[in-house]
Structure formats: structure tokens, C-alpha cells
Structure 1
Amino acid sequence: MFKPAFAAMLAASCCPAIANIVAAGSPDDTSVTDNSIDAKTIEHISIYANRTATLQQDVLASITVLERADIVARQANDLPELLAQLPGINLSRDGGRGQNSSIYVRGGNTGHTLVLVDGVRSGSATLGYKALSMVPLELIERIEVIRGPRAAWYGSDALAGVIAITTRRSSALELHASVGSYGQAGADISVSQQLEQLTLRASAGASQADGFNAQPAQDPDSDGYQQQYLKVAADYRSDFGLWTAQADVNSGFNQFDTSFGSEDESDTLSRAYLLGWQQQLNNWQHQAQLSHNLDSDTTFGPDSRSPFVTERDEFSYQAASDISAGLQFVGGVNWYQEQVAKSATAYEQTSRVNRAIFAGVNYQQNALQLEAAARHDAINQYGAETTWQLAAGYQLTKRWQLRASRGTAFKVPSFNQLYFPGFANPDLKPEQSVSDEVALSYLGSGLQLQLAWFDREVTNLIQGVELAENVVLATVKGIEVSLLQHWQQWSSNFSYSYLDTENRSNGLQLERRPENTINWRGSYTADNWSAFITADYQSASYQGADWFSGDAYPDAPAHTLWGLGLSYTISPQLSLRARLANVTDKDYYTSRGYATAGANFRLSVSYILQ
């Protein structure tokens, strides 16, 4: 049950401040220190909501943008933990860092959120989504979270939203190191070199943890991880445009607990190669991108080994122009091929091709703003899918805006859902959705407020444990409230989300989606130090039912997690940070049978030489 007293206490404690309002700046601007994070009230830029750079307040969608300085200041242990602090996002964990983590954006399944890395579709074709637990925060420059459908721009998977990650673009020599509870330790380095028209960049690092017992009832051991990562990139400016090339390699090892056989360890590897070009020709901005991604996950134990390797080749081109006063056009093509390159078991089909064309317009006239976009995807296994979105915004006053939107989306079943022996269903249909949103927002110099209502209907929702099947209809309704404040040296970021989910085939809630979620972060910034306190609340969440008896499992209990953090700038180059998470050592879980971290700490040091 939701606790109104707790909500009132947090709302009352939202002392004036603003969080997450930092300069978007140039891609190379990473010199912002922890102390400046709450001291600036400068507009963010959205890059991915409409596929063009747009002021955040001019985007007719609910978005959150975190720059590098925001990411560092929050001191999260990993990417799933960081995302769970943002509005409209819930997290379900099967243990600690390195183990499986499910991200639910506005009540959607994990696979209903498209993950883009440097603008490229990312994730395993067999799983059907990107596993975020092994994506190192140290390699992330920027995160943009778009809540609501974006299939009209990006195609399959973007039913509930998009998480767009930009990897490191440091313009300085940076050294970072950290230690923490459960044997956690890590270090990374970033370097950059400017040679006239050529810019070279590289980032590398490693981390590890002994971990804790992920599933106490299965195997009484600690489940840890190890990870190494490297990125090299080059930008070349010429008369023929800006050319970019980069390569990312992320390899790791993690342990987990399972009731299926003896395989309880995993080697992971992801590789990404990217070539890009952009050029301004007259009034048109042209962009093209060619990429290759490999995702490998090999689980193993004393007696067996199960490799799964998928690859994706992708090409995108788009052109954008202000074709008249107040009217902007964006259009392009997208092609990608997915294939199962290696698997422990034979799949009936091992590849598929997606061809798409998309276009959109944005029109502004005085206080009125209109947006429209459409995309047509031709998939060799399913024929064609056409998606669209419409949005309108009206500036009621200088600071108040009312907006409304409707959009359609779809998700093609994964190779596991279609072809994995014993669990798959080759007759599955793509999931399809229609979503509505109405929002009222206020933008002031020291206060930002947004009230949003959303409603999504998903037909052919894929559910099932023993056999994947399409559910006739599932609904997700909700309300989001976000409040960001700033007053002198005090800052506050408060969000509340309400979810009402239903599987219409049986009348039950969708699993692991708490009805009520509250996130609050308050901070104080002085000349050379800053401190923050966080409170994260989730109400009880439905955990599903026994497959054989049909009896519902006990709900995961409601819980509140408190955290404390401190940062101290010794010099312009050197800073120290410390964080305590789950300060009260709360015993809780978000996924039935899996443990979560107790009270834990993290200490880190950063050295930046411009």
C-alpha cells in the first residue's frame, strides 16, 4: 500500500534547488566539476527525441538528460542503479552488479525500451534487448531517456521509450579509481590528442567485485564479476564534412545462481565498430552512419558450455532542413541485418533483415507547436509495419505549456521467443501498441514542474515461462510528477510515478511493476564541497504465479532506501567522493528469490588535467 505520509514528508523536504540542469555544451566539454552541477540553470539539448538537436523544453515528449557531470555526481554503482533514480523507471535485479537487471520504463517490458549507443541500435537478437548490467558507467558521456513511444523514428522495440547512450568524449587526461563494499574496485583512464583537423581519443578501464550471494536458496557462495573495456575514436574535419570512426570492446565475467542445471558462470563480450559522416550543404544537414555490433554471452559450468553470439550490421542516413519559417523536416532510411552467428542449440532461422524509411515535421507558429512523424519497416519475416506519432503543444504563458501526443509502436519477437527449442513459439505475432500522453509543464529560473498522464494499450503482448504466447491485450496507465528546484546553494529533485497495469486475459497485474514509486535527491553545494541525501521508495509489487498450481507468489514488500553522498574538491585537478547506499541496511527484494545489496559504501578519486 502507498504511504501518503511518506510522500508528504518527501514533498515537504524538497528544499528549493534544481538537479540535472547543467550545460549541454559542446561534446568535448567534460571539465564541469561536481560542485557546478547544481549551481547552473542552463538548458539541456535533446538529440534523439526527434533525431535532431532540440532544446529540451521544445520537445513534445517526457525526457531526462544526464550529462557526464550529472553521472559522476550521482555516484551510482552501475548503470541500472543510475537509471532507477530517474522518473518513470523501475528496476528489478537478480542479484548484484553483473547479474541480470530488468528495466521497466513506464511499465513496459525490458524489451519495450530501445537502447541506442552512439545512435546505433544495441542489444542481443536472441534476448531481444540490451543487457545493461555490464555497461560501464565510466565509458558513458551522456544519457538521454525518452519516455513514451518512439517507433515512428526508430522502429521495433521503442514501445515504452528509448535510452540513448553517448560514450566518452573527453578532451582532457582523466584518471579515476574507486573501491567499495563487496570487494568492489575499479580504475579507468581517458586521453585525447588534437592534431590540426584530427582529434584522437581513447578510454580504457577495468573493474571487479567479489559480490554477494545472489540467490541464497540455491548456492551459498558470493557471485562477483570482472570487466575490462576499451574505446578508441577519431574525428576528422574536412571540406567534405566531419568524419568519425570508433571501436568499443567490453569484455567481462560474472557469476550467478540458477535452478536450471549447473551453468552458473558467464563470459560476456560486446564489440562495436562505427563509421560516421555529417555535412552541412546549403540548408540541409546530412548524416550517415555504418556500424557493426557483436554481442556474445557464454554460460558455463563444470559439465557444459552454452555460447550465444549475435551480430548486427546497420546503415542509417538522414537529412534535415528548415524548409520555411517555423517548419523543419527530417527524413531518412534505415537498414539492418540481425543474425545468430553461434548458438548452443540450433535455431530454425538464424537471420532477418529490416528495411525502413522515415520522415517527420515540426511546425512552430507563435504559441502553437505541432509534430508529426511516420516510419515504414519492411521485415523479411513479418512483412511490413507502419508506425506514426502526432503531438501538439501550446504555450499557455511564458512559463506554462500544455501538450498532448499519440503514437503507435511495435516489437518483433526475439530469436529465443521464436526458435529456442522447448520454449519458443514460431507463430508469435509482433507486439503492437497505441499510447497517449497529456502533460502540463512549468519552466522557471529556479523551478521546473511537469505533470504527465499516459495510457498505453499493448496487443499481442508476449508473456509466458514454459511457452511464449501472445496475450490478447494488456494496459498500462499512469501519472508522473517531476519537480526540480533550485534556491541559492540548495537543490532538490523529486519525482513520483503511479502505475496501473493489467493483463486483460486474466485480470492480473503485470509482474514486478510497483504501483507507486518515489525518488528524491536533495543536495547542498559549498565552495569546494557538496553533499546529498537520497530516498527511493517502491510500493509492493506483484511477483507472478506458480506455473503449475496457479497460486500467486507473495508480493515483493514495499521498501525505502536511503543514501548519503559527499564530494570534496582538493584542487581544480583533484577531487574525492564518498557514498553510502542503503544506509539503514534494509532487507528487501525486487525479484522473487534474489537477494539485494545491504548497506554498502563507495570511495572514489578523480584527477583531470586539461
Structure 2
Amino acid sequence: MHLKFLVFLLTGSALSAQTTFAQEVIDLDPIIVSGGLAPVSASKYGRAATVITAQDLEARGVAHVSEALRAVPGVSVSQTGTLGGQTVVRLRGHESNHTLVLIDGIEVAAQQTGDYDFGGLVVSDIERIEVLRGAQSALYGSEAIGGVISITTKRATEPGVTGRAAFEVGSDGSTNIETALRARGARGELSFSTARRDYGGFDISGDPGGLDDGGQNVTYNLNGRYYLTDTVTVGGTLRYVDRRTDIDIFNYAAPTRAALVTDGIGQSETQETYGALFADAQLWGGRLSNRLTYSFSHIDQQGRNGAGIKDQDNTGTRNKIAYQATLALDAATLDASNHKLSFAAEFERLTYRENDASIVFMPGQLVKREQEQVAYALEYQGDFTNGLSIQAGMRHDENDKFSDFTTYSLGASYLLANGTTRLHASYGTGVQNPTLIEQFGFATDFAGNPNLKPEQSEGWDIGIEQQFLDGRGVIDVTWFDETLTDEIGSRFDPAIGKTVPVNNDGKSDRRGLEVSASLDVTDRLGVSLGYTWLDANEPVSVPVMARMTAVEVRRPEHELSLGVDYRLPNDRTQFRLDVTHVAGLYDTNFKTASFLPGGVPSDDFDRIKLDDYTVVNLGFTHDINDRVQLTGRISNLLDEKYEELEGYATQGRTVYFGVAAKF
């Protein structure tokens, strides 16, 4: 099967080599590039989505992408420890490995867990972030049950050579240096950027007299493309991240909350390399587009626990080759078409291995493990003259280790005759393959289970978007309801003395309300709001438990964000105020005896409610002239004491000041 697939892709490659096309720079603001196999206008997209631009990131003054995502409805963010520490994102109450993360179209999740650690993703070179909520497996396959976060880095858009340099310091001892150099000519473009962030940090244990936990992140990003002819484009991207983060000691079954995390000398290191090469082709006078892409990721991780003992040394890889084509059904070119049909096919191989025999509990863990899959997808996009737009897709995945699956999705958008009211709705199914860790184990106290079944989901949402005050304001309200079956949990097996992953009986329900709104109060004052109400639970995996479900941890029931932008009359100074309120947040109760070897979960299923909290951030920018800008921000302005995870302290009030120049 795989050999036939590769022959097919090579045939497509030969076709692309005959005539390929150059992608022109387009205005991305009204387009959701990742919304389908072909780009979709936001005003016609049937699924729930949020777009964050580079201008939004600059106005908020955030350092990491995860900070910007906190304001997006349906998104939950959990940060373990200091800035740059492990940070995961969950969409609509799903697990973190149910969110597919793409950077310039490349899948970047850790191969062994399916999670992407947002702690290493700084905003310095980010042009655009698209958050697609709800099952996206019909287009993207496994890892997209909860949705997709697609990130696009900056390209050279101005003719000639341009550049940028920036420097920032923080009251916690942190420093940040950024540089970028871009060139664009008649036949192509090239962009290279660097960012180095040193974190002064804070003591994540909260112990009196504890040492500050800091870190370092160095990121390099290169992308470019060359227009061989008027109808030919080839190009690629390469990204490298080298980061280090200090960690403290986590004590399972500690007697008190204060004793859960204690001061230590641990450290986690990660080297991430991502890249892609592509060739685009336009056939039949622009009626048929083609793209052939090869992408890869390589992630190395090393670490020592809070006691300073080496506990991590592994390598994961991902290699993918994909072909995609889009055909205009009703016009001579894709630009003029209202009805499009797209086809995609891909082959993917994941590998993972432990590298150090001294930290594995059996020789078999040093064996490189792998998963392979082939997939085919088909999507129809239609725009009708009565205001109705439809996106319908299906995908078939053939796995070498698990059952094959076919997933479906349907989205519809309808603009009423008044031109200001839009209805949108979607339905979709999703699938999540067991991870390499779940399949093979790789830990002294965690045994793999090769008999696991993929997780499956089914869900729908419906919403209404309303413009008001002559388009100065807009509000979008969406209700969603999703069900996850065969959710993979864990259970202690006394026969082998280890925890084993299992498919839980029953269903995991996720339902809720998402609200987003914005209003230009005046030409200088703007207000934005986001709100999520979430009801997410999971089935109990322990047979002796009387209760059948338990609340999902690290997903707030209520999350409210408010943003206020104000530009001074000098038209050079702008302020941004962000307020986030979180309520109804639960974590696992790691203090119970169930976390001792052989322990059994307690009657409350090891859950504990954390205190509600409100965090306020304030930022500003001031343009000295057209090329030099001052920046400043105060993180946690009110010095709120709060927890996102039980036992882990969070950073207090911190002031940052910087300067940026472009040429």
C-alpha cells in the first residue's frame, strides 16, 4: 500500500515539475488560510475560528504565543513553572494532544506524546495565528479532534532589503534580543530572523528563600521562495529552537499544597528542528492548482529532575510527503470560481527512541519505535448567490498499527438579507491515534498497551454573528456540543505493579458557550471581549468508583477576557489593557495516597478546586519616528497570587521596557 502511494506522489511531483505557479502576496486579513484545503473567506467560513495578527501581538506586547491565546474563546492554557516552561493549550475542553499545531504548515508536536509545548514559541517572528475550533480530522487527521492552531511566520513583503532589531529588559533580570533581515526581488524573496530570550525567572516552588527558576530560548527562522516562471514557485522553510528551562522538585502524595513543589536544581533542555520544501503548480490556465510538499521535524530532549538526577534523553522524528490539488468547477480560474473541489494525499512516519541505557528500565526501550499512516482527503467549497456558503470534507486514514478510519465534516455560513447578520454552523467527526508513549511505555512505572483503540469524537456547533453601529462593532455567540468515546486514560495494574493506559468505558462530554465581541467606541478607543463557559467531564476508569464521571482538570468552567486599546491624540502612543478572569478551575489532587505506588483513587476521584483569580496586564508602544519605537508592559499589574496548576507559584508583577528599530 505504501509503495503504491509513493509512486503516486512521485507521479504528482513529475507533473508539478512541468508547470508550477508563483503564489502572489495576498491580503490575509479576510482569509482563513488553514480553514480548508483551499483558503476560505472568514465571512463565509462555517466553523468557529479566531485570527490573531502581528498587529494584535504588537499591541498586546506579549512575549509568547500562549499569552495571546489566553484571550481566545474556547482556549485553555496551562503553564508549568517559569516563563518558557512547559505550556500546553487545550481547545474546547479536549486534551492537549487533541490540538494540531502547525508552524508554516509543518506539524510540530512531540512525536511520542502528540503534545506541542508552547513554552518555546516566542512571538518575535509571528505574522498570523489562526485558531480553528471543533473537530478538524476530516482535513487534518489525527491530533485535530479539538481543533487546529496554525501559525504563519513573517515573510519579505517590501521590495529590496529591509531589517529590524529590537532589545528588551525586564525587572526580573530577563533580556530579549531580536533581529530580522528580509529581501524581496522580482523573482523571489528570502527572510531570516533570530530571537534570544534569557529569562530571569522566579521561584516556581514558592519556598521562602528559594532560588529563581529561569531559562533561555534561542530561535532561528528562515523562509524563502523563488518564482521560476510566471507559473512556477519553489520554496521552503527551516526553523531551529534551542531552549533550556529550570525546574523544581515535584513531590507526589505530599501532605500539603506547599509541599507539592519544593526548591530544586533540575533542568529541561530541548532542541527542535522543523523544515519543509515545496513546489507549486498551476495547470489548465489557472483552473487547477497543485502543491507537493516534503516536511520534517526532529526533536531532542534532555533533562534532570528537581533532585539533579538525569531522567530524560530521547529523540523523535516526523517525516511527511503530501500532495494537494484544487480544481475550479464553475470558472476558468480559481480566483473567479465559486465552487471548488480539492484533493489531498499524504504519507507520514513517526519515530521515537530513548537514547541513554542508564535511565531506562529495560533494553527494549532503546529500540526505535515507529508509526506510519497514509491518508486521502476530499473537500468541496461552494459559494451561492443567496448568501449561503458550504464547506464539506471527508478523509480516510490507513494506519499500520491501528484501525483505519474515515472522518467527515460539514460547515455552513448564511448571510441574511440585512447584510449584518450571519448564521454559521458545523458538524464533524474526529479521531486520535494512541501515542507512541501509550503504545510502548518508555517509563519505569508506565507500561505501554499495544491493544489500545483510537479515540473518536463527534460534535457540532451553531452560532450567530451580528454587526452593529454601522459595522463599528461585532459580536459572535457560538454554542458547541461534542462527545469523545474510547478516551485513553490510565489504570494501575497490581499484577505488574505499573500504570497502564486503557480505553475508558463511557463517554466524555464537552459542551459550552463561546462569545467574542469588539467595538470601536471612537477612532481612538477600542474594546474587545471574549468569554467561554465550559462543561467538560470524563468517565472514571476505576471500576470501584461509585461516580461515573469526573470534571476534566485544567480547563476552567468560566474564562473572561477584556481588552482595551487607546491611541493618544499624538497618533504615536498607544496603550493596551488586558484583564483575564478565571473561575471554576480544577486540578488533580496530587496530595492523596493514590499517587503512592499501588494507590487507588479516592472517592473524589483525585480532584481539587483551585481559587478563582484575575490577572491584569498593561502595555504601551510609542513611535519616536517612522523607524524607531519604544515598548513597555507590566505583567500582572496588581501582583495577583494565583495558581494554574496546584503547587506551582506564578510570577508576580514584572515590568518590561524595550526599543525596536527597522530599516
**Equivalents in 2 of 1:118, 1:457: separation in Å?**
30
Choose which of 399, 402, 422 in structure 2 pairs with 1:382: 402
Choose which of 342, 359, 362 in structure 2 pairs with 1:330: 342
Q: Which runs of 5+ in 2 are unaligned?
A: 1-22, 253-263, 331-336, 492-498, 541-547
Choose which of 391, 405, 425 in structure 2 pairs with 1:404: 425
Q: Offset of 1:245 from its aligned partner?
A: 2.1
TM-score w.r.t. structure 2 length? 0.83
Choose which of 458, 462, 469 in structure 2 pairs with 1:434: 458
Partner of residue 514, structure 2: 480
Per-residue CA shift, 1:376-411, capped at 9, x if unaligned?
011100131111101223222311111221100011
**Equivalents in 2 of 1:467, 1:596: separation in Å?**
32
SS for the counterpart of 2:587 is coil
**Aligned CA distance change for structure 1 residues 408 and 84 (closer, same or farther; 3 Å):** same
Q: Offset of 1:114 from its aligned partner?
A: 0.3
SS for the counterpart of 2:114 is coil
**Equivalents in 1 of 2:170, 2:504: separation in Å?**
44
Choose which of 144, 152, 170 in structure 2 pairs with 1:158: 144
Partner of residue 565, structure 1: 619
Q: Offset of 1:280 from its aligned partner?
A: 2.1
Partner of residue 363, structure 1: 382
Q: Offset of 1:485 from its aligned partner?
A: 1.1
Q: Offset of 1:170 from its aligned partner?
A: 4.0
Choose which of 302, 314, 317 in structure 2 pairs with 1:298: 302
Choose which of 131, 137, 144 in structure 1 pairs with 2:123: 137
1:123–1:295 Cα contact (<8 Å) kept: no
1:44–1:65 Cα contact (<8 Å) kept: no
Equivalent positions of 1:309-348 (< 5 A) are 309-324=315-330, 326-344=338-356, 345=360, 346-347=364-365
SS for the counterpart of 1:468 is strand
SS for the counterpart of 1:182 is coil
**Equivalents in 2 of 1:524, 1:263: separation in Å?**
44
Q: Offset of 1:150 from its aligned partner?
A: 0.7
**Equivalents in 2 of 1:467, 1:591: separation in Å?**
24
Equivalent positions of 1:432-581 (< 5 A) are 432-443=456-467, 445-464=471-490, 466-472=499-505, 473-487=507-521, 488-505=523-540, 506-526=548-568, 527-545=571-589, 546=592, 547=594, 548=599, 550=602, 551=604, 552-581=606-635
Choose which of 295, 307, 313 in structure 2 pairs with 1:307: 313
**Aligned CA distance change for structure 1 residues 219 and 501 (closer, same or farther; 3 Å):** farther
Q: Offset of 1:374 from its aligned partner?
A: 0.2
1:580–1:599 Cα contact (<8 Å) kept: yes
**Equivalents in 1 of 2:79, 2:40: separation in Å?**
34
**Equivalents in 2 of 1:187, 1:497: separation in Å?**
35
**Aligned CA distance change for structure 1 residues 330 and 254 (closer, same or farther; 3 Å):** same
Q: Offset of 1:254 from its aligned partner?
A: 1.1
Choose which of 71, 86, 93 in structure 2 pairs with 1:85: 71
Per-residue CA shift, 1:183-233, capped at 9, x if unaligned?
211111110123541322211121111211123369932211112121223
Partner of residue 418, structure 1: 439
Amino acid at match of 1:419: F
Partner of residue 236, structure 2: 245
Partner of residue 103, structure 1: 89
SS for the counterpart of 1:202 is strand
**Equivalents in 2 of 1:65, 1:191: separation in Å?**
26
**Aligned CA distance change for structure 1 residues 150 and 263 (closer, same or farther; 3 Å):** farther
**Aligned CA distance change for structure 1 residues 458 and 179 (closer, same or farther; 3 Å):** same
Q: State which drifts further: 162-171 or 269-278.
A: 162-171
Amino acid at match of 1:521: G
CA RMSD of aligned residues (A): 2.2
Partner of residue 595, structure 1: 649
Choose which of 275, 278, 281 in structure 2 pairs with 1:276: 278
**Aligned CA distance change for structure 1 residues 391 and 200 (closer, same or farther; 3 Å):** closer
Q: Offset of 1:553 from its aligned partner?
A: 4.6
Amino acid at match of 1:327: H
**Equivalents in 2 of 1:214, 1:200: separation in Å?**
41
**Equivalents in 2 of 1:411, 1:353: separation in Å?**
14
Partner of residue 202, structure 2: 212
**Equivalents in 1 of 2:573, 2:310: separation in Å?**
52
Q: Offset of 1:558 from its aligned partner?
A: 0.7
Per-residue CA shift, 1:12-63, capped at 9, x if unaligned?
xxxxxxxxxxxxx98599xxxxxxxxxxxx9531100113222211111111
**Equivalents in 2 of 1:57, 1:378: separation in Å?**
34
Amino acid at match of 1:241: V
Q: Offset of 1:274 from its aligned partner?
A: 1.2
Partner of residue 191, structure 1: 181
Amino acid at match of 2:276: L
Percentage of identical aligned residues:
23
Aligned positions, number: 573
Are residue 224 (structure 1) and residue 214 (structure 2) matched? yes
**Aligned CA distance change for structure 1 residues 224 and 503 (closer, same or farther; 3 Å):** same
Q: Offset of 1:318 from its aligned partner?
A: 0.8
**Equivalents in 1 of 2:320, 2:537: separation in Å?**
36
**Equivalents in 1 of 2:452, 2:653: separation in Å?**
44
Partner of residue 172, structure 2: 182
Per-residue CA shift, 1:415-471, capped at 9, x if unaligned?
112212431333222111001101111245211111100001000112237432222
2:47–2:412 Cα contact (<8 Å) kept: no
2:408–2:428 Cα contact (<8 Å) kept: yes
**Equivalents in 2 of 1:349, 1:429: separation in Å?**
22
Per-residue CA shift, 1:279-327, capped at 9, x if unaligned?
2222012112111210111113644352111001111111112212632
**Equivalents in 2 of 1:26, 1:560: separation in Å?**
44
Q: State which drifts further: 199-208 or 256-265.
A: 256-265
**Equivalents in 1 of 2:328, 2:119: separation in Å?**
40
1:370–1:393 Cα contact (<8 Å) kept: yes
Q: Offset of 1:536 from its aligned partner?
A: 0.4
2:156–2:184 Cα contact (<8 Å) kept: no
Q: Offset of 1:560 from its aligned partner?
A: 0.9
Q: Offset of 1:503 from its aligned partner?
A: 1.8
**Equivalents in 2 of 1:84, 1:47: separation in Å?**
22
**Equivalents in 1 of 2:187, 2:24: separation in Å?**
17
**Aligned CA distance change for structure 1 residues 450 and 28 (closer, same or farther; 3 Å):** closer
Amino acid at match of 1:533: L
**Aligned CA distance change for structure 1 residues 218 and 530 (closer, same or farther; 3 Å):** closer
Q: Offset of 1:369 from its aligned partner?
A: 2.1
Partner of residue 373, structure 2: 354
**Equivalents in 1 of 2:556, 2:490: separation in Å?**
20
2:576–2:620 Cα contact (<8 Å) kept: yes
